Structure 1
Amino acid sequence: MSLMLLVRRSAVAVGVARWGLRCLCSGDAAAPYRHTILLPRTDFPMKLNGPNLLEREIQIQQKCKFDQLYTWQRERKAKKEYCLHDGPPYANGDPHVGHALNKILKDIQNRFSLMRGRQVHYVPGWDCHGLPIEMKALGDLGTSELTTLQIRQKAREFAEGVISRQRAAFQRWGVMADWEKCYYTFDGKYEAAQLKVFQEMHNKGLIYQDNKPVFWSPSSRTALAEAELEYNLNHVSRAMYITFPLLTLPAKISERAEGWGVVSALIWTTQPWTIPANQAVCYMPKQQYSVVKRADNEQLLLVATERLNMLSTLLKTNLESLATFIGTDLEGGVCQHPTILSKEVPLLPANHVTMSKGTGLVHTAPSHGMEDYNVATHFQLPVDCMVDEEGRFTELAGVELQSKSVMAEGNAAVISMLRAAGAVVLEEDCVHSYPYDWRTKQPVVIRACKQWFINTSSLKDKAKDALQKVRVIPESARSSLLAMLDRRTYWCISRQRSWGVPIPVFYHKESGEPLINKYVPHTLSLTTLFNANQYKLDFPCHSQAFGGTHSKSSKAGAASDYVRGEDVLDIWFDSGASWAAVLPETDPRADWCVEGKDQIGGWFQSSLLTSVAVRNKAPYKALLVHGFAVSEKGEKMSKSVGNVVDPDEIINGGKDLTVSPPYGADVLRWWVAESNIFSEVQIGPNALKAAKDNINKARLGFDPRTQAVDPKQMHYIDQYMLHLLREFSMKVTDAYTEFNFGLVIRQLQSFNTRELSNFYFSIIKDRLYCDPEDSVGRRSCQTVLEEILDGLSRSIAPVLPHLAEEVYLHAPGHDEGDTLFRSGWINTNPVWRKPGLEEVMEGACAIRDSFLSSIPGQNAAEFDLIIAIEPGLFFELMESLQEEETSTCSQLSELMMAARITLTSSLPRDLPCDAITSTGKFLINLEGGMIREESTYSIAAIATSLSRCPRCRRYTSEEPDCLCTRCQTLMEKHVN
């Protein structure tokens, strides 16, 4: 070992550094200077996994008082309130990823609004009534041996248990709310508010009782709303072409019917069991109809002309047209019923007849079809229902059919009767979409029975007008909302169940006529609503309740003449009245309602109709409609398929942690925010792992700093980064406002990668690590790093509250006990927007890009760079970054990351032969276009003659193995 090397090592060992003292630049020769390099130090964990992650999230929730945040912000003064109304989830099962998608979406927006200084009004609730809860509560017990009170008690207990589990999950996900003050549709005060809505609608004549066809579930023995149906696309029905012989020909046909014989109207149906209830055959007035003769048996049939080709192919015979008529020519025709020979049914016009299938003539059974009922109402036809609550024929159908199930043996019996009557032309199996009870998964029927209805036809125009004033995201969902309203002519709100809010009505014991007035809801609430478990048939009577009138009679009666109705309200009316029970009295309209697309025909609509009926306005100012959570393959989740993703397993891990590791709540929240919520939202192992990796990258991007510097004293690149941070924060704010959380994440990732990792961090690390600790340049970038850390933490906080609060706990500059969510949104100081700053930096970056692209794969630090710009504005802008002609430590050299920069007006003529040259242009645009100047520049990159400094590793040393001037000065001060 040489004497010189021993001297160097000894000198370093005693902490002495002298000018001109050499050290080796290879191997560990630079190690003695490591203690002078100001590398970042933090106790913030770069990664957290498994139990440590779960434990840390719980600690964050406790230390940052997540459970008190909602109450705190409700008590603080705020200029503006932000109301997001919670559509109640159904209390009939464990929390699932659909709940997570919905609740976390709401929470992200609520937390953003809180940080923006608004007072958030958000009251979580649960939809607690209905048959699914009743059935699950009873299990295999049935209802035969239980009283109504016992059924209600069991259903309430079941709902309370589900609510407890769901509420605990929502809290674990970090959802901000006062979880001790939620709303429940079985709560007495809620029910009272709901009955007030019912009463006001009844007073306006919007609620009435009638014998109308409704969707009826034989398996549940109750009426169903459309929102309680699901359609089986593979349902198989026995479709039949059936003849109705014309007993009386229409006059226009009779004139041309000499020698024809019997003409039969041909109809098509997929529900032969409804034939006994037939009251008419309908035609389309403006369509053409023909009397045709079959070539194979000379049978005469009346059918729509447009359907002839299809029928000829189906019957496998030619159909000779004997005469053609317009639909109105069929007026006056009378047919014989095919199974009830003594019954005559008329030919009647109807606009619901279509030519898309069948024969153009429609069998009409008013008790088993909505459109059929409308025809019966118009022409005063009977609406006699032959089907009971169990879906079986009654005695009205005759002894051959009585007690037989219309969907099974009853249907087969009708088909046999039709065959025996010679009325069947053709029969075949038909696979088609058919409504099923979404709870029991069994087919439903349409059945006329006495029910309570809301006359939505009188509300539709008002509802449409109100909806036009509502903002809808995505806008395409508005047309679906309007289409749903168009299709709903009335709304059946009565249900034959025990568990629900009783319809406030009494019935006369003898006549069965209903009694309802403004006192009845109060009378019933005394016994059933404010204490739902005290559900009795004997009740104290409010004297004025029976001093009113029947709905169809002017008689008054004594209380003993009446019995209380046992039907309960539809749960969509139940939950649809939540605006009346939950929203602020000052302005009972929510700023936003956020629900899945299934609520277009459900809660969105029931809320709108009830609010418009009572207040002539929508209960919400804006709607967001999101998609459903599906498997990673885009399939609907199903336990039988085995593709269900359990949010509890996402957070805590599954049985096999190597297959299903614990990810924590923030990964679940990231998945929600990153997803395209307006389509089907996919979730699975790949999506969750990607979310975890992205969060880990976010953790690694933060490093707190101290000792702020006034922006005027900062380096230009530092000022520019504050400008970029301001632009970023404004874009993020806009994205949050629009519920575009995926854009928030993309902007965050782009800013982290492009502006920070690939640009700013790589440029400033020399100044940050190697400049004197208290230098203005170092403190300048430290100040910016603090602002960046703070801005990025706040920008992602609504999505990742646990991580954001954890960062805040480690960051300096705030008192013990402070939390990020109590300290506001991103700070964007207007002073960061400095005139001309963009032009300076963007011009320099244009030169930088030209330089780096001219030396692909090589180290910029090993080059000297000559920048030639003609005298003018652009040259003056670059001079603000480097005053002297040549420098190794200017802001321009730092930005270019080169060894030495020369700023001149033209390139020298004697460039080395290995010099790499390029040119470019830059357009200066100042003061809104008032100053525009396009400048050209030329650059030459030359291998530097300077040596690498063993401390800072920049090529700025005059001699090999020697400290550069900056490092020598610093080391001398460090020793002294």
Structure 2
Amino acid sequence: MLLCRVSAVSQTLSRWGRRSHRGGGLLHRALSFSSSRCQAVSPGESSPQPAETGSPQGLYRDTVLLPRTDFPMKLTGQKLLNRELQIQQECGFADLYSWQRERKAKKEFCLHDGPPYANGDPHVGHALNKILKDIRNRFEMLRGRQVHYIPGWDCHGLPIELKALGELGTSGLGPLEIRQKAREFAEGAIARQKAAFQRWGVMADWDQCYYTYDGVYEAAQLKVFQEMHSKGFIYQDYKPVFWSPSTRTALAEAELEYNPEHVSRSIYTTFPLSTLPPGIASEGLESVSVLVWTTQPWTIPANQAVCYMPNAKYSVVKRADTSQLLLVASECSASVAALLETELESVGTFTGSQLEGGICKHPTIPDKEVPLLPANHVTMAKGTGLVHTAPAHGMDDYSVASQFKLSVECMVDEDGKFTELAGPELQNLTVMTEGTDKVITMLKECGSLVKEEKCVHSYPYDWRTKQPVVIRPSKQWFINTASLKDKAKEALQKVRVLPESARGSLLTMLDRRTYWCISRQRSWGVPIPVFYHRETGEPLINKHTVTHIAQLFKEKGSDCWWELPVEDLLPNEVLKKSKAGPVTDYVRGEDVLDIWFDSGASWAAVLEESDSRADVYVEGKDQIGGWFQSSLLTSVAVRNKAPYKALVVHGFAVTEKGDKMSKSLGNVVDPDKVINGGEDPSLPAYGADVLRWWVAESNVFSEVQIGPTALNSARDSINKLRNTLKFLLGNLQGFDPRVQAVDPKEMHYIDQYMLHLLREYSIKVTDAYTEFDAGRAIRVLQGFIARELSSFYFSIIKDRLYCDPEDSLGRRSCQTVLEEILDGVTRSIAPILPHLAEEVYLHAPGHGEGETLFKSGWIKSSSVWRRPGLEEAVEGACAIRDSFLSSIPGKNAAQYDLNIAVEPGLLFELMESLQEHPSSTSSQLAELMMVARVNLCSVLPRDLPSDALLSSGTFLINLEGGVIREDSAYKIAAVPTSAARCPRCRRYTADSADCLCPRCQSTVSQAH
């Protein structure tokens, strides 16, 4: 036998090379043939039933072993919902996480949960994120790893504070009253979100979560704060920050959203030169005015300088209509002329460096002079090439002020109104509205306004209130991210990022952030543990003070910052260690930490059990500038390493039209209604597994669409899968793999071959889950079911399964494989569909009462299933069958006798291994061909009937990487059979129509 020969040569083999004039592999072509040609029955259907009891077929109805199972093909409505909840209860979903934490495991898998915000009901964004994480966690748990996953919530911050207070501007409540209301609001949101996550089947110990308002968490956060402060990364400064007048607090970059449709009143205005630069003065020019452009007219009163680009060319131009002399960048003169609708004649050209020494008169403040200064941030993209500089209201402007020691006086208060420093005309006017009106009026009155126009541009808004922000200087606490940037980039290079394209965004965000304002002027948050000297205002903060406060927070929670007297917060022993004066000299600070610092320190509070580095963080793309970055910066500052080994960045959930979901538009998809159904008939009860399939099947690295089309498709896919699972379960009725399984070596070759394909399938699925690609796992699953199972194996084995004796080797061989397939497929879908997987496991044979799938491991494929020569034997036969089926288009293969002629050699020996006798109706080769009879010979008979259908082909056998290589030719002749159709098995193998075939005669007689 060839199998022995091949085995003797080597235990390994390379796959046979496929050759076809039509393209594609021979096996693929063989597997994708139309099963209708062979009268195949789809999974889940019964084989064709006899119509009449009195007919010959009806006599043998009870002798055919048809599939039997009480596993439902479809579950809908309340039955579906009840079944999922019943399975969660029966199969111990609530205890699964604790069980796997207690078992011994060689490796741990840590997925650190980014905290969702505790300010509202669960939404589909939560579903996308939590289910995506759960799919990976369940996969890792199944394959034997100990999963570390502690869900958490981000509980502090302004949105919660505002919602708790009910309306903006509520006054009269003290910090502790505000904090109590905010805590109650957050607790309610957490309870609703937690219940939803559990309903979705997310595996965790829901009694052991982390919350950023918990005292132990706050203490860990302060430890991070203290270490960063001691290393000089945290400092206090007076500098411009994004300020939200609508919420009266400083904001970080991550708390902004940019409105691309913001409309500003932009102006061109003049600053008369009172002292000409030497370069211009030597040309004899007089009464020259510098022309500047700004989209923020309200900042003109705060002007301290006009900046130019040192290397650019500048021109003094004369207006044709007024003869006014203006200084502008040479390359901007044409656009300025078009704007002013007049010609501009150049009367002198200079380099930017020649403008040094020039001094301008401030247009609205008498006797105030402002210098011309060089700056690298000046651009020629829009405007005049000369930039109005107000250090109090611009980041670049502030850099100029720092370099040239300019004043950074703030004329704008916390409500966004001018203070008395702006003068009586402007005091108390809101800068963005009536303040802007008044400044423009003042510029008109003094003759400085040259042009006003509307400018539509991108402008920062407070992401919570959707109101515009201003830039104003304020004394705040900052993290010097500029000094951390290079270390953070270096750490990021060692992190795997999925998709890789997100890495560029992470690096860009780091580059844009030179400092991070971490103080907020609110009550609901972690207090910054700082005390200020009553007279000097100097901060008192060091490792002794912070360590003491952290211990208090750990024991009592951060409410104690307001509850305890300063003497308890700053006891004598701490004052002595700090070399500070008496406690009466100090007052406690009133600022709280930015919530991005809260959540960014989560690695320190949650990951202590492992190496403090998670295997992966998985969040939406909005966290590129948020939690991913704040976690990286804090971890690099304290430990010189990233807190994660990998990052997975997913897209947002959007409508089926690709629109962002919005309550005001009424297009929000509620996950609770997805599961439980809604009042609208178009929203049936889909259950949790449909929601999970939607997540798994989606390309999560882009925007993820959800709606009736996507959900119906997911439901249909699951029902098709149930159909296949029902077929498998039905044919395993009465089979116990523990005592009736057949050793692979004794199996039919096609059965052994299916074990080989199952092993390949399990490898592909495992790889897909490992790559966070559940969508690929689904595609591999669907391909395996459609090609290898439904169109190929199930079609071939039904005769043996239904009509062979119940305990025969052939039938048990087949059942052994079906059980392996059922087990492998069920485990492979379990991370995505845990409810369905456990439901199948409850019906499946081979395990005891009370066992659950998730406690029994991953797919159990075996390398023993790969036998030398096995693939060649079955795939060679498939190639021959492909030729045969192509020769009888639209006809029933079962009505033919097939003559196969193969030249002596390897292919002939392979076919001989599938059929020992020259002619057979019951050989493995006949079963594969699904014909009445196969005649195997070296040459075709000469006396073939005239209606014989002839075809031929070749099959390349390639073993040992080419050591054994043979291109074998074959010829086939298909002849309509003369045999009659057996009334029991319906194969054309009987002597007459009213007589059973020999196989059925033997089977029926044995049964009786």
Could you tell me which residue of structure 1 aligns to residue 252 of structure 2? 225
Q: How does 1:237-248 map to 2 (within 5 A)?
A: 237-248=264-275
Fraction of identical pairs, as percent: 73
Contact 2:218 2:558 (C-alpha < 8 Å) held by counterparts: no
Give the distance between the partners of 1:544 and 1:265, measured in 2 at CA. Answer: 61
In the alignment, is residue 341 of structure 1 matched against residue 366 of structure 2?
A: yes
Could you tell me which residue of structure 1 aligns to residue 688 of structure 2? 665
Query: Which of 891, 894, 900 pairs up with 1:861?
Result: 894
**Secondary structure, counterpart of 2:958 in structure 1:** strand
Contact 1:517 1:548 (C-alpha < 8 Å) held by counterparts: no
Could you tell me which residue of structure 1 aligns to residue 26 of structure 2? none
Query: Which of 987, 996, 1004 pairs up with 1:954?
Result: 987
**Secondary structure, counterpart of 1:407 in structure 2:** helix
Could you tell me which residue of structure 1 aligns to residue 3 of structure 2? none
Give the distance between the partners of 2:290 and 2:949, measured in 1 at CA. Answer: 92
In the alignment, is residue 140 of structure 1 matched against residue 164 of structure 2?
A: no
Query: Which of 252, 271, 291 pairs up with 1:266?
Result: 291
Contact 1:865 1:940 (C-alpha < 8 Å) held by counterparts: yes
Instruction: Give, in angstroms, the shift of residue 71 of structure 1.
Output: 0.3
Q: How does 1:58-207 map to 2 (within 5 A)?
A: 58-140=85-167, 142-207=169-234
Q: How does 1:235-314 map to 2 (within 5 A)?
A: 235-256=262-283, 258=284, 260-314=285-339
Q: How does 1:124-523 map to 2 (within 5 A)?
A: 124-140=151-167, 142-256=169-283, 258=284, 260-523=285-548
Instruction: Give, in angstroms, the shift of residue 546 of structure 1.
Output: 2.8
Could you tell me which residue of structure 1 aligns to residue 850 of structure 2? 817
Could you tell me which residue of structure 1 aligns to residue 617 of structure 2? 593
Instruction: Give, in angstroms, the shift of residue 467 of structure 1.
Output: 0.3
Aligned residue pair count: 945
Instruction: Give, in angstroms, the shift of residue 514 of structure 1.
Output: 1.0
Deviations 1:592-638 (A, max 9, x none): 00000000000000000000000000000000000000001000001
Could you tell me which residue of structure 2 aligns to residue 531 of structure 1? 557
Considering Cα pairs closer than 8 Å and 6+ residues apart, tell me whether 1 or 2 has the greater RCO: 2
Give the distance between the partners of 2:564 and 2:273, measured in 1 at CA. Answer: 54
Give the distance between the partners of 1:653 and 1:937, measured in 2 at CA. Answer: 59
Contact 2:527 2:558 (C-alpha < 8 Å) held by counterparts: no
Could you tell me which residue of structure 1 aligns to residue 16 of structure 2? none
Q: How does 1:714-725 map to 2 (within 5 A)?
A: 714-725=747-758
Q: How large is the RMSD of aligned CA atoms in angstroms?
A: 1.6
Give the distance between the partners of 1:175 and 1:895, measured in 2 at CA. Answer: 44
Give the distance between the partners of 1:922 and 1:308, measured in 2 at CA. Answer: 78
Give the distance between the partners of 2:51 and 2:416, measured in 1 at CA. Answer: 96
In the alignment, is residue 727 of structure 1 matched against residue 760 of structure 2?
A: yes
In the alignment, is residue 617 of structure 1 matched against residue 641 of structure 2?
A: yes
Query: Which of 32, 50, 71 pairs up with 2:59?
Result: 32
Give the distance between the partners of 2:109 and 2:608, measured in 1 at CA. Answer: 11
| Code of the aligned partner of 2:619 | E
Larger mean Cα displacement after TM superposition, 281-290 or 895-904: 281-290
Contact 2:244 2:469 (C-alpha < 8 Å) held by counterparts: yes
Deviations 1:376-425 (A, max 9, x none): 11121111111100000011111111111001101111111111121122
Deviations 1:727-776 (A, max 9, x none): 00000000000000100001111111111001100000000000000111
Give the distance between the partners of 1:912 and 1:316, measured in 2 at CA. Answer: 98
Give the distance between the partners of 1:944 and 1:442, measured in 2 at CA. Answer: 84
Q: How does 1:10-49 map to 2 (within 5 A)?
A: 28-49=55-76
TM-score (norm 1): 0.95
Contact 2:53 2:59 (C-alpha < 8 Å) held by counterparts: no
Change over 3 Å in CA distance of 1:803–1:698 after alignment to 2? same
Structure 2 unmatched runs, 5+: 1-49
Instruction: Give, in angstroms, the shift of residue 919 of structure 1.
Output: 2.2
Instruction: Give, in angstroms, the shift of residue 930 of structure 1.
Output: 2.2
Contact 2:320 2:345 (C-alpha < 8 Å) held by counterparts: yes
In the alignment, is residue 708 of structure 1 matched against residue 708 of structure 2?
A: no
Give the distance between the partners of 1:627 and 1:509, measured in 2 at CA. Answer: 50
Instruction: Give, in angstroms, the shift of residue 25 of structure 1.
Output: 10
| Code of the aligned partner of 1:624 | V
**Secondary structure, counterpart of 2:431 in structure 1:** coil
Contact 1:517 1:545 (C-alpha < 8 Å) held by counterparts: no
Give the distance between the partners of 1:24 and 1:312, measured in 2 at CA. Answer: 94
Could you tell me which residue of structure 1 aligns to residue 709 of structure 2? 686
Deviations 1:162-201 (A, max 9, x none): 1011000000000000000000000000000000000000
Larger mean Cα displacement after TM superposition, 603-612 or 523-532: 523-532
Change over 3 Å in CA distance of 1:817–1:247 after alignment to 2? same
Query: Which of 630, 634, 646 pairs up with 2:654?
Result: 630
Query: Which of 625, 628, 652 pairs up with 2:676?
Result: 652
Give the distance between the partners of 1:308 and 1:909, measured in 2 at CA. Answer: 98
TM-score (norm 2): 0.92
| Code of the aligned partner of 1:580 | A
Give the distance between the partners of 1:814 and 1:770, measured in 2 at CA. Answer: 27
Give the distance between the partners of 1:25 and 1:523, measured in 2 at CA. Answer: 90
Change over 3 Å in CA distance of 1:219–1:872 after alignment to 2? same
Give the distance between the partners of 1:308 and 1:867, measured in 2 at CA. Answer: 89
Change over 3 Å in CA distance of 1:538–1:758 after alignment to 2? same
Contact 1:126 1:183 (C-alpha < 8 Å) held by counterparts: yes
Give the distance between the partners of 2:456 and 2:311, measured in 1 at CA. Answer: 30
Could you tell me which residue of structure 2 aligns to residue 552 of structure 1? none
**Secondary structure, counterpart of 1:72 in structure 2:** helix
Give the distance between the partners of 1:61 and 1:506, measured in 2 at CA. Answer: 52
Could you tell me which residue of structure 1 aligns to residue 594 of structure 2? 570
| Code of the aligned partner of 2:87 | I
Query: Which of 889, 901, 908 pairs up with 1:875?
Result: 908
| Code of the aligned partner of 1:166 | Q
Contact 1:102 1:596 (C-alpha < 8 Å) held by counterparts: yes
| Code of the aligned partner of 1:925 | N
| Code of the aligned partner of 1:204 | K
Could you tell me which residue of structure 2 aligns to residue 3 of structure 1? none
Change over 3 Å in CA distance of 1:243–1:929 after alignment to 2? farther
**Secondary structure, counterpart of 1:917 in structure 2:** strand
Give the distance between the partners of 2:316 and 2:974, measured in 1 at CA. Answer: 94
Contact 1:152 1:499 (C-alpha < 8 Å) held by counterparts: yes
Change over 3 Å in CA distance of 1:544–1:335 after alignment to 2? farther
Give the distance between the partners of 2:364 and 2:315, measured in 1 at CA. Answer: 25
Change over 3 Å in CA distance of 1:402–1:651 after alignment to 2? same
Instruction: Give, in angstroms, the shift of residue 641 of structure 1.
Output: 1.2
**Secondary structure, counterpart of 1:693 in structure 2:** helix
Instruction: Give, in angstroms, the shift of residue 586 of structure 1.
Output: 4.3
| Code of the aligned partner of 2:479 | I
Larger mean Cα displacement after TM superposition, 740-749 or 938-947: 938-947
Query: Which of 760, 773, 795 pairs up with 1:762?
Result: 795
Contact 1:25 1:949 (C-alpha < 8 Å) held by counterparts: no
Give the distance between the partners of 2:364 and 2:322, measured in 1 at CA. Answer: 22
Contact 2:279 2:354 (C-alpha < 8 Å) held by counterparts: yes
Larger mean Cα displacement after TM superposition, 461-470 or 433-442: 433-442
Query: Which of 811, 818, 824 pairs up with 1:791?
Result: 824
